[in-house]
Structure 1
Amino acid sequence: MKPVLGALSLALLAGLSGCGYLAGEDGYFRDRGSDYQGVVIEPRIDIPEGVESKPLGDLLPVPGQSVAEASGEKFKLPRPQPMIVSADAAEFSLQQNGSVRWVQAQRSASDTWPLVRQFWNDYQVPVASETPSLGQLQTGWVAFDLQSNNPLLRRILPAIGEGRSVEGREHRFRLRVEPGVQGDSSEIYVTHMSRSQGGSRTDWPENSDNANLERAVLAELETYLNQSRSGASITSLMAAQAGPRATLARDGAGNPVLTLQSDFNRAWSAIGQALSQADIRIADLNRSAGVYYIDLAQAASQQKEPGFFGRLFGRDETPDEDRAQRTEVRLTAVGGNVQVTVDESIDTAADPRVAVDVLERIQANLN
């Protein structure tokens, strides 16, 4: 009862004596932001002779003349200086405030959007809907147990958490690119949603269903964007979706080479899609090395997908057999182009007839 009586008493006093009692110059809640301007500077303390002391400087120096004294106007706090990003600082960084996470980009939202859109395209995650003018994108539903060959899903799989099953579940992500606080900056947010496969749930949750998956996707996005900044810029969404021009020729040693007039990121995505459309099985990949490992002994459509626990605890082939059947499709950035070759290993080129057949199938399926 005491807090209630105290509040009633305060309200009664405010009603009897007016608002000036609370917020006026002599009120209880008056503005004290300019009190320092009336502070009297006292003389320094005199130290008696014979006493040792260290000289102390002014810990909080008062300026000789304030704006209020010069103009007679009320003092206004200056705006903070803009944040300076050095050349060595990361252009994209993962930030967190409490339970809210985002990727901070030192680029405008319009410049960040095509890079973010290319991220999903490169990792072959379908996009269900997008609104570039609002900076919003929604992926299609993906299943970890049915799409284990997807490199992005394979890397973020541990983030689901111990004890949580992936079988019979499907997931999707919503992404937002918003203008940042500083000029020419933006912030990227991700929301995760899951449901049973074929379920009817469609409404997005206020917060991610799995915060660990949200953070894992943001971390992958941050790494991808920082790696992409060193490559050629993607000028527009239409340019990112357009297929690169490709020319099939032979190098000085007579080995077939497919040359793409494109930057590495677009070429990597285009080659991956072309291999899938050509029904060539991708056994593994290494994006940092620019290599797709393909299996020419079996078409992608004939591949039997093992169950989830089968992928964890067993293999259909022994490691030696698996390596023996792999052929490398290698991408190498040369100037402003990307050269695609077919090799048995990093030191050995593939049989020219096999290489020509693979490169022709890739060229025929480039969009």
Structure 2
Amino acid sequence: MTRIRPLALAALTLPLLAGCGLFGGGKSDEYQRTKSTREQPLEVPPDLTSPTYDDRFAIPDPKASTSFSTYQQGRAPGAAGSGPVNLAVLPPIANARVERSGELRYVVAKAEPGQAWPVVREFWLDQGFSIAREDAAAGILETNWRENRPPVETDGIRGLVSRALPGMYSSGERDRFRARIERGAEAGTVEIYVSHRGLEEVFTSTLQDSTRWVPRGGGTDRGLEAEMLQRLVLKLGEPTRKSEPVRMADAKPGPASVAGTSQGRGAAPAASGAQNAVLQNAGAGPIVLNDGFDRGWRRVGLALDRVGFTVEDRDRSKGTYFVRYIDPDASKVDNEGFLDKLAFWRPAEKSAAPQFRIAVAEAGSGASSVTVQDSKGATDTSATGKRILSLLFEQLK
């Protein structure tokens, strides 16, 4: 076995140790120099200013002591980073507002009916609807059924086909709205009520080869109604020139309200736990509302719109709505065939629905009653009259 002598090993090791010093100091020296260099702050050029920093998202020091007084100072209005962001959320409109009385919402605008009518009509066209019914004498504008197509991200073949042929895929949902304009209780104002009806397409067989349209979610979406009312307020508050943006300083807030709404004139909301409506005499009527005449009149009018009654006329002084009851057949929505459309020689079918009167009257202190009458003003006790009361009660209860 060959051994390496200690002297020879030492002779070989010394040159190696000496060689490390030829390439400068070790890594620890380099880290120290780098650290000391990076600690020097950057100099700002003479023609620039130091940038300002927002400390709203600064991470607090976990070792620092915090007291309630310090927290309050940080939340003070004048504290740095605590100022509100100036966004045009629910801008106040000078000549229109949303009134709220309990669950009832409607728009009050400073305008004459003839001035509000074209604005409301243009509003529905701006929303992508076409007008199906215009009755200026009754103050009613009703849209056609329109498919509700939410923005859904699609990719692959379906996304390509959807972009090339938008009508290839259907969402299976339809919406229509009705706006009713009435003279306001205050001189020079109008009240505008908006009602919604929704349908959805469902399969009628296990093979899923046939469908029909049924009311969606009870037929009425109160959230959509509230959204359209708020949009209508913005439309009514637009400046004369559309190119001119609405200036926030020029807009004056309406009456005391919360998010653009306020309680109705002298109408208190229903007491907690109290029933909004009671259908008496085992469905034969009348319907007793826990509201006075003014609010009861508005509630009945909105219920008629939501159910789909054709309101031909109304007389608020006598508390009477003149309506025709046409049972909405949802299965016939957009169900007209191509050959039916070509049959222009065929006369349109006229509805022979009889006329009814919906009477609203005072029924004691803070209450009102709703009855169904025939065309001559007598109480209607027929099966159709009970059906009308039942439909109204579903909306009023």
* Structure label with greater radius of gyration: 2
**TM-score after normalising by structure 1:** 0.35
**TM-score after normalising by structure 2:** 0.33
Task: With a CA cutoff of 8 Å and minimum separation of 6, indicate the structure with the bigger relative contact order.
Answer: 2
